[in-house]
């Protein structure tokens, strides 16, 4: 008779609703935050990468990564993008690849972006990280023992995943975004006799630009980011100071009502090309550290670390963000607020 000691734990866990990870530097991972950001960079071509190590002291290695590329295309009146993500949570691994289209519309005193995202995801178990009862005796793990358990029927299962969002720049100071991810609530179950839907995740955010100098090169960015997924919610509140070369911020993350605290975070971004003088390239590196304040505790988790990389390039026929409304024949002559 085959043994199912740990395999049963895996199967029962598929009935628990999965939750998406949070990137502390959400605005440095734009495609992960909102599909409406595709093609919305200052230059017309952008590459982004984000890596987060969750709870550094936890040995199960919880790690999340996202890599994206997007470009503004004048004839499509918006942008297109690709987003590749990976999450590792102990023996569970998930990969996804998404295609994104965002339509841009310039209005008097406002700039509106509408985004759609469609892709495919894969969820699997790494059996090399598991030991079962037929690999263990009274002395511990049996060297070289091979388990006879059945592999999960839907291991490496593929499923479709969709998202949609909007992004509004209002006047020269407001940024408002929102939308939904996992609209179709795909089934992530690893077995054929259970249904484990990935709950729809609603998101919204608000950012306000407070200029410090007359040229608008130095400013504060107070921000709020809200997520709702199944019965869980998360609220991030923070503020960044930004100038032409760097940005530094402080954040608090918890739930609505501030009854359950999650983390205090600090962020730092360095712009390696001074945007005041370089008109064709942008290069930014970002770092963040979360000090855990939840039940796990800071001393046991050692917090979480995160890094981001953003590279932008103005191609030979490209158009910078501030000139796109006038260059697009549909929106020609319509004044638009600046992006930030």
For 138-166, the pLDDT digits (tens) are 777 777 777 767 777 778 888 999 999 99
Closest to 40 measured CA to CA, from 312, 284, 245, 243: 312
Residues listed for the chain: 340
What proportion of the chain, given as a percentage, has pLDDT over 90? Answer: 54
Distances (CA, A) of 227 to 99, 140, 205: 22, 43, 9
In a domain, 24, yes or no: no
Residue 2 has pLDDT above 60, yes or no: no
In a domain, 26, yes or no: no
From 140-149, 240-249, 290-299, the region with the lowest mean pLDDT = 140-149
* Rounded distance between C-alpha atoms, residue 183 and residue 122, angstroms: 17
CB atoms within 10 A of CB 167: 26
In a domain, 287, yes or no: yes
Residue 247's pLDDT band (cuts 50, 70, 90): very high
Q: Residue 295: which residues within 8 A CB-CB, separation 6 or more?
A: none
Domain hosting 142: range is: 5-15+32-327
pLDDT (0 to 100) of residue 305: 94
In a domain, 338, yes or no: no
Residue 331 has pLDDT above 60, yes or no: yes
* Element of type H or E holding 31: helix 30-33
Residue 12 has pLDDT above 50, yes or no: no
In a domain, 337, yes or no: no
Residue 220 has pLDDT above 70, yes or no: yes
Q: State residue 75 phi and psi, 5-degree precision.
A: -65, -15
Residue 6 has pLDDT above 70, yes or no: no
Residue 322 has pLDDT above 50, yes or no: yes
Residue 170 has pLDDT above 50, yes or no: yes
Q: 193: burial class by Cβ within 10 Å (0-12, 13-18, 19+)?
A: exposed
pLDDT (0 to 100) of residue 13: 38
Q: What is the pLDDT of residues 44-100, one digit of tens each?
A: 999 999 999 988 887 778 899 999 999 999 999 999 999 999 999 888 899 999 999
Distances (CA, A) of 188 to 72, 197, 249: 33, 6, 36
Residue 7 has pLDDT above 50, yes or no: no
Closest to 238 measured CA to CA, from 28, 54, 51, 19: 28
The average pLDDT across 184-205 equals: 86
* Rounded distance between C-alpha atoms, residue 245 and residue 269, angstroms: 8
Residue 105 has pLDDT above 70, yes or no: yes
* Rounded distance between C-alpha atoms, residue 181 and residue 36, angstroms: 12
Residue 334's pLDDT band (cuts 50, 70, 90): low
* Strand ranges inside the chain, DSSP E: 45-54, 62-73, 78-89, 92-107, 110-125, 136-137, 140-141, 157-170, 174-181, 201-208, 210-211, 219-229, 232-242, 246-254, 261-271, 281-292, 304-313
Quote the pTM value: 0.87
pLDDT (0 to 100) of residue 214: 80
CB atoms within 10 A of CB 69: 17
In a domain, 27, yes or no: no
Output the average pLDDT for the chain.
86
* Rounded distance between C-alpha atoms, residue 46 and residue 225, angstroms: 23
pLDDT (0 to 100) of residue 225: 97
Residue pair 340/168 in contact (Cβ under 8 Å)? The answer is: no
Residue pair 314/281 in contact (Cβ under 8 Å)? The answer is: yes
pLDDT (0 to 100) of residue 329: 63
In a domain, 219, yes or no: yes
DSSP 186: -
pLDDT (0 to 100) of residue 336: 67
CA 142 to chain centre: 41
Residue 285 has pLDDT above 70, yes or no: yes
From 116-125, 176-185, 237-246, 331-340, the region with the lowest mean pLDDT = 331-340
pLDDT (0 to 100) of residue 21: 80
* Rounded distance between C-alpha atoms, residue 226 and residue 144, angstroms: 48
Q: Residue 136: which residues within 8 A CB-CB, separation 6 or more?
A: 142
pLDDT (0 to 100) of residue 192: 67
Residue 11's pLDDT band (cuts 50, 70, 90): very low
CATH of residue 55's domain is 2.40.160.40
In a domain, 334, yes or no: no
pLDDT (0 to 100) of residue 315: 93
Please state the domain count of the chain.
1
Q: State residue 109 phi and psi, 5-degree precision.
A: 75, 10
The average pLDDT across 14-43 equals: 84
């Amino acid at each position: 008779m085959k043994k199912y000691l740990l395999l049963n734990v895996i199967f029962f866990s598929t009935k628990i609703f999965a939750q998406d990870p949070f990137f502390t530097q959400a605005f440095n991972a734009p495609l992960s935050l909102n599909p409406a950001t595709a093609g919305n960079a200052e230059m017309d071509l952008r590459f982004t990468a984000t890596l987060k190590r969750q709870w550094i002291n936890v040995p199960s290695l919880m790690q999340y990564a996202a890599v994206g590329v997007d470009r503004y295309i004048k004839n499509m009146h918006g942008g297109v993008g690709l987003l590749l993500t990976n999450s590792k949570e102990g023996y569970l691994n998930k990969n996804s690849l998404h295609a994104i289209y965002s339509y841009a519309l310039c209005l008097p005193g406002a700039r509106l972006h509408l985004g759609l995202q469609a892709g495919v995801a894969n969820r699997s178990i790494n059996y090399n990280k598991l030991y079962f009862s037929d690999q263990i005796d009274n002395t511990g793990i049996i060297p070289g023992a091979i388990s006879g358990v059945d592999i999960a029927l839907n291991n490496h299962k593929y499923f479709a995943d969709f998202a949609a969002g909007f992004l509004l720049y209002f006047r020269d100071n407001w940024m408002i975004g929102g939308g939904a991810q996992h609209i179709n609530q795909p089934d992530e179950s690893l077995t054929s006799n259970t249904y484990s839907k990935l709950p729809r995740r609603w998101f919204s955010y608000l950012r306000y630009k407070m200029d410090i100098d007359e040229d608008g090169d130095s400013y504060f960015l107070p921000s709020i980011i809200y997520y709702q997924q199944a019965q869980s919610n998360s609220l991030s509140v923070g503020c960044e100071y930004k100038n032409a070369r760097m940005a530094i911020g402080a954040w608090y993350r918890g739930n609505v009502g501030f009854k359950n605290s999650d983390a205090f975070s600090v962020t730092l971004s360095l712009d390696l090309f001074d945007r005041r003088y370089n008109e064709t390239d942008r290069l930014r590196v970002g770092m963040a550290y979360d000090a855990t304040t939840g039940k796990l505790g800071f001393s046991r988790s050692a917090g979480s670390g995160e890094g981001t990389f953003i590279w932008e390039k103005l191609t030979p026929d490209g158009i910078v963000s501030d000139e796109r409304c006038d260059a697009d024949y549909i929106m020609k002559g319509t004044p638009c607020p600046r992006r930030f």
